[in-house]
Every structure is written in C-alpha cells, then in structure tokens.
C-alpha cells in the first residue's frame, strides 16, 4: 500500500507528464497560427484553407483590449522555443519589430509577388494584404459638435492601430508635443476606450460625438443602421493612414512548407476579395477585379495612393511611445 505522501507524489508526477506531453504535442497537431485579425472573419478563411489543402490549423487569437501588441510580445517571449508557425497580424509595426529582432523567416512566394512594394518587406520577411483605413467616426446628428473634446473618444494608444497612429504623431511632432496633446485630450474630458470597437460603440450610441477608429469598425455601425458617418483621419501633411494585415513565417518553424502554403493563400486574390466583400470591407492591395468591389471599398481603395509611409523608421518612436504609455506617465495628470 502506498502512503498518502507517496500517492500525492505519484499524482503530481503523472500530472507533470500529462502537462509536458500536452505542451509538446499541441504545436505538432497542426499549423499554429497566431492571429490578431478578428476571429469572425479569420476563422472562415482558415477553414477554407484547410478544406483546400488538408492542412489543419491551430489558432490563437488575441483580445480586443490588447490588439496586436499582446501576440507580438508573446512571440518575443517564445523566441528561443517558438510555438507559432505563422503570424497573421492586423497591423504592420509590430510585425516590423519582430523582423528587427530576427524572429521572421523570409519567403517570396506567389502571394508576395502580387502585393505592391510599399506594402511588403523587400527581403520577404513579411507581406501586407487587405488593409483598413484609420477614420474619424461621427455621430451624424451631432456632427457639427465634433470639435468638442469632451465628447471625443479614442482607443488606448498602447494597442492595435491606435498605437500605429500614435507612433506616427510621435514621429512627426516629437515626444513632447505628442505627450502634451494626449494629456490635453484627457484634461478636456476625452474618453479613452479599451479598443476601436468600443470607440465605435460610444459614437454609434451618441455617448460621444466623434472619435478615431478603423474603417472596419465603422462599417459594423453602418450595418447596424446606426446614425454614423466618417472622414479619413489625416496626419499633419494630409496623408491618410492605411494599415494592412500582415502575414509572416516565424523563424524556427518545423512546418515551413505548410506555412508557405498558408502565406500564399492569405496573399491571394481570392482572400483579398473575400475580405473586401465581408462586413469588414478590407481594402485589397494586390490586383483584383475592381468591378466586383463594393462602392464603399472602391472609395477607400482610391485613398491608398495617399498613404503615409509605414516603415522601419517608425520603430524608434513606437518603442518610445510604448515605454511612456506603459510607465503610467500617460495617465491624466493630477491637478
């Protein structure tokens, strides 16, 4: 007969074996995809990929409140023992940051070839597709009041596309002016929301008269028959902010051939058109049959040529902005 302590020790040992086995087997059970794009759209596309190729995927999504940054930082933490094979990000600067840290495996396949040079890495470490536009969303009945800061909403600039927007301002204005601008917004009563979807909700309900969000969130409100309208968000100098999805293969993957197949599929005309026709109205970046585009998507596509350049030079202001935002100094100053 085993003693109580021996039984407990045996149970703990067995539990450890099970956990280690799960840890080792999970990545091998399919192509592991970390995905920052909205699950409601991504799951459909990944299911079709499996149906076409027979390659199963295991997907880890992130939360709306930590969009993109959470998965970027997870890939960094797992660098020595990567679990992710393919990273489908919904913005580009975090992907560039992984490239700078030598965590991406270059690949120039058929999908890479159809995307314009301004939306892909020259060496093939990442490629963009299916973009969104940063916009100002208005509660149409109160659009004339849109200059009132206390009725304005912005997502937490530490995450997602708002971090990209914030990094651009940091680059153009410098650190001091950007910090002053953000503190001024808070002092005048601006509402800092958890994410772009929450900004959309605040404006669509009339709780805010205007705010910064992305075009896909704006169209959700349109489909919900909310009284909203939009204008492109422009940075100093008049450029618009076009933020592509990006796809990259993680360095060290043991499933490189399957990862390449997924990357080519995501960068295909088929997927870009599917995302363009979906409720999110993503903007195709590669050549597509423009006659099949919705009028509202064609209108967004016409703005792409006036996009602000999202390149490696933004990584320094992005890093500085993240450090400041995480420090707590970004919170509303006490009077």
CA dist list (Å): 34 to 27, 135, 264: 12, 26, 16
Work out the pLDDT band at 272, boundaries 50, 70, 90.
Answer: very high
pLDDT, greater one: 1 or 256: 256
Burial class of 106 by CB neighbour count within 10 A (0 to 12, 13 to 18, 19+):
middle
Point out which residues pair with 132 in neighbouring strands.
Answer: 243
Residue 125: the pLDDT is 98
Contact 85, 250 (CB under 8 A): yes
Q: Within its chain, how far is the Cα of 250 from the centroid?
A: 17
Pair of tokens at residue 29:
């059970």
Residue 322: the pLDDT is 95
Q: Which of 72, 18, 93 is nearest to 245 (CA)?
A: 93
Work out the pLDDT band at 308, boundaries 50, 70, 90.
Answer: very high
Work out the pLDDT band at 76, boundaries 50, 70, 90.
Answer: very high
Domains (range + CATH), the chain: 28-132+243-305 (3.40.190.10), 133-241+315-327 (3.40.190.10)
Pair of tokens at residue 84:
């992710």
Pair of tokens at residue 218:
């704006």
Average the pLDDT over 280-300 and give the result: 97
Whether 77 has a pLDDT exceeding 90, the answer reads yes
The C-alpha angle 250, 255, 256, rounded to 5 degrees, equals 60
Pair of tokens at residue 38:
């909205």
Q: Where are the alpha helices (DSSP H) in the chain?
A: 4-25, 39-53, 69-77, 93-100, 110-113, 160-173, 175-187, 196-204, 215-223, 256-266, 269-277, 295-301, 315-327
Residue 1: the pLDDT is 53
Helix, coil or strand: residue 84: coil
Work out the pLDDT band at 147, boundaries 50, 70, 90.
Answer: confident
- Measured CA to CA, the distance from residue 194 to residue 22 in angstroms comes to 33
| Ramachandran assignment for 174, one of left (phi > 0), alpha (psi -120 to 50 degrees), beta (any other) | left
- Measured CA to CA, the distance from residue 69 to residue 325 in angstroms comes to 13
Average the pLDDT over 299-314 and give the result: 97
Lowest-confidence range among 22-26, 171-175, 189-193?
22-26
Point out which residues pair with 307 in neighbouring strands.
Answer: 240
- Measured CA to CA, the distance from residue 42 to residue 48 in angstroms comes to 10
Q: Give 100-120 pLDDT, tens digit per residue.
A: 999 999 999 999 999 999 999
Helix, coil or strand: residue 293: coil
- Measured CA to CA, the distance from residue 63 to residue 273 in angstroms comes to 26
Percent of the chain topping pLDDT 70: 89
3-state secondary structure 238-292: CCECEEEEEEEEECCCCCHHHHHHHHHHHCCHHHHHHHHHCCCCCECCCCCCHHH
């Amino acid at each position: 007969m085993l003693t109580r302590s021996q039984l407990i020790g045996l149970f703990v040992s067995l539990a450890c074996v099970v956990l280690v086995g799960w840890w080792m087997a999970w990545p091998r059970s399919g192509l592991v995809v970390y995905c920052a794009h909205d699950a409601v759209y991504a799951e459909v596309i990944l299911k079709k990929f499996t149906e076409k190729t027979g390659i199963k995927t295991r997907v880890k999504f992130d939360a709306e409140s930590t969009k993109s940054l959470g998965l970027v930082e997870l890939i960094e933490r797992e660098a020595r023992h990567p679990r992710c094979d393919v990273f489908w990000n919904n913005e580009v600067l975090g992907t560039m940051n992984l490239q700078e840290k030598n965590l991406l495996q270059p690949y120039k396949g058929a999908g890479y070839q159809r995307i314009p040079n301004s939306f892909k890495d020259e060496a093939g470490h990442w490629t963009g597709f299916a973009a969104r536009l940063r916009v100002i969303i208005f509660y149409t009945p109160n659009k004339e009041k849109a200059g009132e800061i206390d009725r304005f909403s912005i997502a937490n600039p530490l995450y997602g596309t708002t971090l990209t927007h914030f990094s651009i301002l940091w680059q153009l204005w410098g650190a001091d002016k950007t910090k002053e601008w953000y503190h001024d917004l808070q002092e005048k009563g601006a509402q800092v929301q958890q994410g772009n979807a929450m900004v959309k909700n605040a404006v669509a309900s009339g709780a805010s008269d205007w705010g910064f969000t992305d075009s896909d969130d704006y169209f959700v409100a349109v489909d919900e028959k909310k009284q909203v309208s939009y204008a492109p968000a422009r940075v100093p100098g008049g450029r618009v902010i076009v933020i592509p999805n990006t796809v990259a293969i993680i360095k060290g993957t043991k499933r490189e051939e399957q990862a390449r197949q997924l990357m080519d599929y995501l960068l295909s005309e088929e997927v870009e058109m599917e995302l363009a026709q979906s409720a999110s109205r993503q903007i195709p970046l590669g050549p597509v049959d423009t006659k099949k585009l919705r009028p509202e998507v064609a209108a967004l596509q016409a703005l792409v040529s006036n996009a602000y350049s999202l390149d490696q030079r933004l990584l320094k202001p992005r890093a500085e902005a993240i450090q400041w935002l995480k420090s707590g100094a970004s919170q509303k100053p006490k009077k």
